[in-house]
């Protein structure tokens, strides 16, 4: 596999926080036939979020809160925060298959976000949680 393109996602929330979404293609395996170029691909990807910017008033609101616990998620304090704008996270790789070279594209778009103001992160910020969807596609690359 060779990397072709990688773009970080940006998620803007109604509380004026901006989050980063990064994804990585871990593995791609050919697993048989499909009508999409004659190959079916199993694409394994992972992702994660991090804060890019958090308004100072939110930082101040959690300064005396306990640290976010490790292990199971706490059940208290979660509130939904709407996504007002976003740029998806994208990664593309080129792979060799039994039917030639293919460009594999993975796009991740956030669909839900929540924050917890009862705890603080190690960066002294509210804790955010995001769900995203994967959109995976592939196309054969024309031989030149």
Q: Where are the domains of the chain?
A: 2-140
User: Could you read off the pLDDT tens digit of each residue along the chain, which spans 144 residues?
Assistant: 665 789 999 999 999 999 999 999 999 999 999 999 999 999 999 999 999 999 999 999 999 999 999 988 999 999 999 999 999 999 999 999 999 999 999 999 999 999 999 999 999 999 999 999 999 999 999 764
pTM: 0.91
Rg of the chain, C-alpha, whole Å: 19
Cβ atoms of 19 and 89 closer than 8 Å? no
Strand partners, 72: none
């Amino acid at each position: 596999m060779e990397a072709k393109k990688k773009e970080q996602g940006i998620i803007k929330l109604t509380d004026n926080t901006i989050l980063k979404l990064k994804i990585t293609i871990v593995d791609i395996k050919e697993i048989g036939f499909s009508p999409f170029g004659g190959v079916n691909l199993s694409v394994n990807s992972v992702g994660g979020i991090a804060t890019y910017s958090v308004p100072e008033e939110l930082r101040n609101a959690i300064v005396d809160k306990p640290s976010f616990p490790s292990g199971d998620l706490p059940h208290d304090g979660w509130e939904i925060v709407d996504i007002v704008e976003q740029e998806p996270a994208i990664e593309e790789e080129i792979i060799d298959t039994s039917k030639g070279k293919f460009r594999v594209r993975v796009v991740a778009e956030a669909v839900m976000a929540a924050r917890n103001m009862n705890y603080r992160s190690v960066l002294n910020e509210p804790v955010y949680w995001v769900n995203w969807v994967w959109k995976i596609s592939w196309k054969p690359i024309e031989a030149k």
